[in-house]
Structure 1
Amino acid sequence: MARSLNILMSLFTRRYEGTFYRALPWASFLVSQGHRVTILCTSKDHLFRTTVSEENGVRIVETPALFSGRYVMTRLCGMYGWGPLDIFARWREACRGGYDVAVAFEHHFHVVLPLWLAGRKNIPIWIADSCDHYGEGGFREFEYSPYRLYGLYQLIGWPFRKLMDHLELFIRRRADAVTVISSYIRDRVIGQGIPAGKVHLIPGSADVESIHVQPKTDACQQQGLDPDLHYALFFGAGQFDVDFSLEAFERVQKKIPDSRFVVIGKKDPAVTRRATELGLQKKLIQTGWIEDGQLGGWLACADVCLLPMKDNAPNHARWPNKIGFYMAAGRPVVATDVNDIGPLIRQREIGRSGPVDVQAFADQIIELFENPNACVEMGRRARETAEREFSLPIHGSELERLFLTLAGAHHA
């Protein structure tokens, strides 16, 4: 029988945000295989207090959020996670937990510093995981440039940005292995001098256990939608580049007036405002936050699922989690061809992928709206791809083998 490991996963995010949805499925699978897993994340609700709870058998420790820097430090260097109480709580957990393996999700200060302070004597095996391009030319250049006083932030934030760049290299060089979500990040990590044999590409998983294929008519009736209309659907907590889809959908509307644009996720005023500017306010359906159990029903209402990405470094680095949900729901996908998603769609024939061009994107949506039989076949292949290549047991087993191999080498 394989050895049972005690694993610490340190996240830079808060619970139910971003990378939490990469860590929790991994952790849940590892627990099902007999391992113990603790996830560290910053609290949404408490500035001074650490709270402990459990989800799917995974121990969740939420650390204090005081002075996390989510606003000022994000503008200065593109990364938060500077709270002293947060860092202290994570260091204490790393020292006292008796962990065999630590996984550092990204290189934020409150992720790397506690691990470094705890040292190898407390946690002998380190893994660095990376899902985004945070360094020069990455998120901090694209996501935070619209702020007023941006030039001042750039000037004052220079030493903090240099520190974060150092921590990125530090954790990757010190780690026993580096897991990455995309080929772009894999190539970037290897380009930083990390040996290729140390880098493991594990893309996002598809939740084929919770998300099932459902008939569109039944799903629309459950959600109060007209099943005779055509629905293009965008899902995402972070509604990156949805404005691109809206501009394309304006052109779709001119050709297919009985179509609607569905956005699952928070009701972003910027999305509402842009839809109004384009005259689409009556064609836009914003669900707001929904319960996890409702997601499959909403996805099943779609004729086409959308994955718009503009041509920039952060998008090249990404593996959007939404592709896994789209495939699990058995729906065809229309995407722009800027990262690993484009080749996947073409090679598995599960939708359409093309240039970052509004008219081309609109034409692909129209093509699928007008060919429902093709949509059904693409959706069938999408579900098969999700089950065969992207299910959690496949990716979780790969991760478990990596951990056990490193643990075996350490104790040899």
Structure 2
Amino acid sequence: IVAFIGAFTTQNDFPTLLALAERLRSRPDVLVVLVGGGAQESLVTARLAQGDLPNLRWLGWLEYEQLPGAWAAADVCLLALRDHPLYAGTVPAKYFEAMASGVPIAAAANGVAADLAHTSGAGFAVPAGDVDGLARIVERLLDDAAVYASAADAGRAYAEAHFDPARVTAAYEALLMQAMRR
């Protein structure tokens, strides 16, 4: 299961995600699962209505309590951000959830999201809109157990080192205290 879990906001490149499902259609071992909803639902429902992507599923919104189960079921986290300067500084929450869950990341994005996939070791990124490159990442993660394990372990370790709630809270509190002293 390669999964997009999150809001279908306009920053996300659903044409790329849907083209990825089309590109991976010949692999019966790969299921593209979209979890969530929002502004781009109509793109998803229109593509599903064509009936030619048996490897594509849309589950709609899940309750918050169901998200850990969704991440446990996912083999790869999908991210595709539109190519726009505004989104170059965007790192969606799904990154942190995937890393903490030990789910490797396959991203088609520019800027910080691409950099984080590389520097954390949690996955791989290609430029925004690169469907073939995104498919190669997914296939590499699914077909090479060593690469998969390395990305999963690195993401989990990175999340523990950098996104621990107690550490983040303490750092944020220190920042606020510093700002109050000015």
Does the 8 A contact of 2:89 with 2:113 survive in 1? no
Distance (whole Å) between structure 2 residues aligned to residue 396 and residue 301 of structure 1: 29
Residue 272 of structure 1 corresponds to 45
Q: Percentage identity across aligned positions?
A: 28
Per-residue Cα deviation, 1:91-125 (whole angstroms, up to 9, x for no partner):
xxxxxxxxxxxxxxxxxxxxxxxxxxxxxxxxxxx
Match of 2:85 among 313, 320, 324: 313
Describe the shift of the 1:403–1:348 C-alpha distance in structure 2 as closer, same or farther (beyond 3 A). closer
Q: Classify the secondary structure of the residue corresponding to 2:171.
A: helix
**How far off its partner does 1:317 sit?**
2.9
Q: Could you tell me which residue of structure 2 aligns to residue 393 of structure 1? A: 166
User: What is aligned with 2:7?
Assistant: 237
1:259 matched to 2:30: yes
Residue 350 to residue 278, structure 1, CA distance change in 2 (3 Å): farther
Equivalent-residue separation in structure 2 for 1:275 and 1:338 (angstroms): 28
Q: Do the aligned residues in 2 keep the contact of 1:237 with 1:266 (CA within 8 Å)?
A: yes
Task: Say whether the 8 Å CA contact 1:331–1:379 is kept in structure 2.
Answer: yes
Cα distance in 2 for partners of 1:261, 1:250 equals: 10
Equivalent in the alignment of 1:34 = none
The answer to whether the 8 Å contact 2:79/2:109 transfers is no
Q: 1:278 to 1:351 in 2, by over 3 A?
A: farther
Contact 1:330 1:382 in 2 (8 A): yes
Paired position in structure 2 for 1:178: none
* Greater relative contact order structure (CA < 8 Å, 6+ sep): 2
Corresponding residue SS for 1:259: coil
Contact 2:120 2:154 in 1 (8 A): yes
Partner of 1:143: none
Q: Deviations over 1:130-186 (max 9, x none)?
A: xxxxxxxxxxxxxxxxxxxxxxxxxxxxxxxxxxxxxxxxxxxxxxxxxxxxxxxxx
Unmatched tracts of structure 1, length 5 or more: 1-230
The higher radius of gyration belongs to 1
Q: Please list, as runs of the form range in 1=range in 2, the aligned pairs for 1:7-156 lying within 5 A after superposition.
A: none
- Equivalent positions of 1:164-243 (< 5 A) are 231-239=1-9, 240-243=12-15
8 Å CA contact 1:303, 1:375 repeated in 2 = no
Equivalences, count: 177
Which of 361, 365, 376 is residue 134 of structure 2 equivalent to?
361
RMSD of the alignment, in Å? Answer: 1.9
Q: 1:278 to 1:242 in 2, by over 3 A?
A: farther
What do the CA deviations read for 1:238-266 (whole angstroms, capped 9, x no partner)? 34212211102211222x22311111112
Q: 2:62 aligns with which of 285, 290, 296?
A: 290
TM-score of the two chains, using structure 1 as the length reference = 0.41
Which structure has the highest helix share of the two? Answer: 2
Runs of 4+ in 1 over 4 A off after TM superposition: none
- In structure 2, runs of 5+ residues without a counterpart are none
Q: What residue number does 2:21 align with?
A: 249
Given candidates 56, 71, 96, the residue that maps to 1:299 is 71
CA–CA distance in structure 2, aligned partners of residues 384 and 395 of structure 1:
15
Please report how far the alpha carbon of residue 339 of structure 1 lies from its aligned counterpart in structure 2 after TM superposition. 1.6
How far off its partner does 1:311 sit? 1.3
Letter in 2 for 1:393: A
Provide the rounded CA distance (Å) in 2 between the counterparts of 1:276 and 1:375: 33
Any idea what the Cα deviations from partners look like across 1:53-76, whole Å, max 9, x if unmatched? xxxxxxxxxxxxxxxxxxxxxxxx
